[in-house]
Amino acid sequence: MASKVFRPRLNLNHVTFQGNNNHAQSHSFGQVFLHKKTGVSSSRRSVVAAEAAAMAEETIAKTGNSALSHFWREVQGSNNWENLVEPLHPLLRKEIIRYGEFVAACYKAFDLDPTSKRYLHCKYGKSRMLNEVGMEDCGYTVTKYIYATPDINIPMQNEASRGHWIGYVAVSSDESAVKRLGRRDLLIAFRGTVTNHEWVTNLMSSLTPARLDPNNPNPDVKVESGFLSLYTSDETKSKFGLESCREQLLSEVSRLLNKHKVEDLSITLAGHSMGSALALLLAYDIAELGLNKTDHETVPITAFSFGGPRVGNPSFKQRCEELGVKVMRIVNVNDPITKLPGMFLNENFRVLGGRYELPWISCSCYAHVGVELVMDFFNVQNPSCVHDLETYISLLKCPTKTLYTRKEGFDNLLNRARELIFSARSLKSICL
């Protein structure tokens, strides 16, 4: 049975931060603590964690950003972020924020005006996209735009079922940025669900074998059918139709890896919501095909997931770990998307009442992949903030306001409900 984690909540704290409209917004959120039998109160631990984070920030400020060039592999998860999450290391926090802003650029550049000629595409050309969204000094150059085709034959008002702009590929091109990062970084950023067709695709929550490697089909490795469809569907039946999202990505990643194969490289994927699912599928795909293996090294693959759902079954999770895919999941405990799919049948549902093994569970339920950085925020006046990427980023910029902790066992309320349902002792007490 999944290990239990007791998570006491403090009274809500009132915090002001910058929101989407560049004006101060008020959000109330609680703090999450990992219960440890240390004899130290949770409130005292929050103070200690905040002090540790402040001291680390001061150290980084004194040593400069160049510290990242010597520490980038650990920040990218080479040791599964051991001792970097609790408290959250300032270099890791800065990198998470930086990659989150690359994802936010997808939303800022996406054209949602039905009257525009660029409707459901990027507003800007590749050469100026990052400049237009305020990231002119990021040190990256966009090399390719990525389009995904929802495989849905349902007519919807003002929305054709064809390729929509889903994200972009970029590479750290500025030499000063490469020096600061300590390597050449290949970045792929994905936006989350926006269009109606994408919402319908997200509802296709059935598991299907991934079979992305023709030489190793591995039918036990299963992923959510809607995400897989969005990743692999194409328009090749049309005369000028697009290749699949997958083909576009693998072609460009291969090209860039070959171009920079003599350098130290990293492959970083970042996405929000549905984009997190696509990022994880791509990370798995690259590793399964061995595209990240060069004569020089095995290029590390890291995915930063913001408010991401589950993507596959436990066999998919296990295979990702075997392939060395590193995943950092940034989640809000109040964000319902992070509980789906598989709200009930998931990685925590391993046994019935602690007594009966479920041998079919590895094939028929969902499991999260990677290490989790847990946040806890909610605003009664604006409930949608629980899944808003800008809210995630804004609160990450306030390290002394919230405490983050790695979560080993999640959905404890659901776990307790399952124990209540399936434990004979509990059932007997209810009947009495």
Q: Give the residue numbers annotated as catalytic, written as ranges.
A: 273, 335, 387
Tell me the three state secondary structure of residue 113: coil
The HSE-up count of residue 126 (CA atoms within 13 Å, CB side) is 13
378: left (phi over 0), alpha (psi -120 to 50) or beta: beta
The HSE-up count of residue 335 (CA atoms within 13 Å, CB side) is 24
Tokens for 404? 């983050």
Residue type at 51 in one-letter notation: E
Residue type at 84 in one-letter notation: L
C-alpha torsion angle, residues 61, 63, 69, 75 (rounded to 10): -50
For tokens 């328009």, name the residue.
235
Strands 222-224 and 265-272, by their bridges, are unpaired
Eight-state DSSP code of residue 264: -
Q: Residue 377 in contact with residue 19, Cβ under 8 Å?
A: no
Q: Residue 201 in contact with residue 156, Cβ under 8 Å?
A: no
DSSP codes of every residue in 15-33: EEEE-TTSSEEEEEE--B-
Q: Residue 396 in contact with residue 97, Cβ under 8 Å?
A: yes
Q: Residue 243 in contact with residue 148, Cβ under 8 Å?
A: no
Instruction: From 56, 60, 85, select the one nearest 70 (Cα to Cα).
Output: 60
In whole angstroms, what is the distance from residue 46 CA to residue 36 CA? Answer: 13
Tokens for 155? 């007519």
In whole angstroms, what is the distance from residue 76 CA to residue 304 CA? Answer: 9
H or E stretch including 39?
none
User: Could you tell me which residues are beta bridge partners of residue 113?
Assistant: none
In whole angstroms, what is the distance from residue 420 CA to residue 422 CA? Answer: 6
